[in-house]
Amino acid sequence: MASKNRKPPRVGDQPGFRRALIAAVLVVTAIFIVAPLVVIGVQAFSQGWAVYATAIADPDTLHAILLTVTTALIAVPINTAFGVAAAWAITKFDFWGRRFLLVVIEIPFSISPIVAGVAYLFVYGLQGLFGPALQSADIKILFALPGIVLASMFVTAPFVARELIPLMQAQGRDLEEAATSLGASGWRTFFSVTLPNIRWALLYGVVLCNARVMGEFGAVSVVSGNIRGQTNTLPLHIELLYHDYQTAGAFAAASILAVLAVVTLVAKVLLERRGAGRGGRPTLAANQTVPETTT
């Protein structure tokens, strides 16, 4: 300490400035981030436990929870398989158009969920590309579970891939090449060599993907048709209750998703301690994740 004291403090380290800045940031954080979380709990329980329990046990709310969980159970595993496949193809091989493919995978990040929903309408809706054919075949995609799943898969398409790609890029191909040259099959190589190295990043991507699928509002709102007790996911059900002036019910339903958000944050912190999530900075495109390989 004594030797350090001879140096001037770092920029911005004067005690007065430091304390003032920390205090200011804490106050704004409390107003801006903590208060929204707290108000959900307060509003949900504003009329007591009994009302809360009744609101949660309402058949429409239970159905919305079921639909949200079902959507996640379908969309997240498919998305995960896609993310792993995309990361394997992009990081373990060189092929023409690789960088372009990366940008395309990340496109959903930059697109408004409403645009995504409208776009799906023009594929599967009656006024869309396949709508008339689907109707004559009596296949229901829009305003039903398949549409909700598809829209959820659109908005979360980059989630798993973007966690894996920077990591697998950094890890290189040597281990896999060694395994296959020793006679291991492709699947064996993946499960015994690659997967143990990427498991935390994979789980990290899955956790974030799941949170987004369960919370998606805009895109799902367009394609679901908002049929109460049928195609209302939990976020849509919250909107419906809220506009019905059932505030306690809306906040009770919202509290479930708020708990999910908190659990997601805790999982995120725990996984980051294991080294996941370090590769990816917030991004609209994957430009920086794969440096141009020089041949």
Contact set for another protein, span 243-272 (CB under 8 A): 250-251, 254, 257-258, 260-262, 264-266, 268-269
Q: Does 6 bind another protein (CB under 8 A)?
A: no
Q: Does 82 bind another protein (CB under 8 A)?
A: yes
Instruction: Indicate which single residue of 64, 74, 116, 148 sits in contact with another protein (rule: CB under 8 A).
Output: 116
Binding residue count for another protein, defined by CB under 8 A = 107
Instruction: Indicate which single residue of 67, 76, 238, 271 sits in contact with another protein (rule: CB under 8 A).
Output: 238
Q: Does 100 bind another protein (CB under 8 A)?
A: no
Q: Does 114 bind another protein (CB under 8 A)?
A: yes
Scanning 59-67, 97-105, 136-144, 195-203 for contacts with another protein by CB under 8 A, the matching segment is: 97-105
Q: Name residues contacting another protein, limited to 148-167 (CB under 8 A).
A: 150, 153-154, 157
Q: Does 196 bind another protein (CB under 8 A)?
A: no
Instruction: Indicate which single residue of 143, 242, 246, 290 sits in contact with another protein (rule: CB under 8 A).
Output: 242
Q: Does 170 bind another protein (CB under 8 A)?
A: no
3-state secondary structure the chain: CCCHHHCCCCCCCCHHHHHHHHHHHHHHHHHHHHHHHHHHHHHHCCCHHHHHHHHHHCHHHHHHHHHHHHHHHHHHHHHHHHHHHHHHHHHHCCCCCHHHHHHHHHHHHHCCHHHHHHHHHHHHCCCCCCHHHHHHCCCCCCCCHHHHHHHHHHHHCHHHHHHHHHHHHHHCCHHHHHHHHCCCCHHHHHHHHHHHHHHHHHHHHHHHHHHHHHHCCHHHHHHHCCCCCCCCCHHHHHHHHHHCCCHHHHHHHHHHHHHHHHHHHHHHHHHHHCCCCCCCCCCCCCCCCCCCCCC
Q: Does 65 bind another protein (CB under 8 A)?
A: no
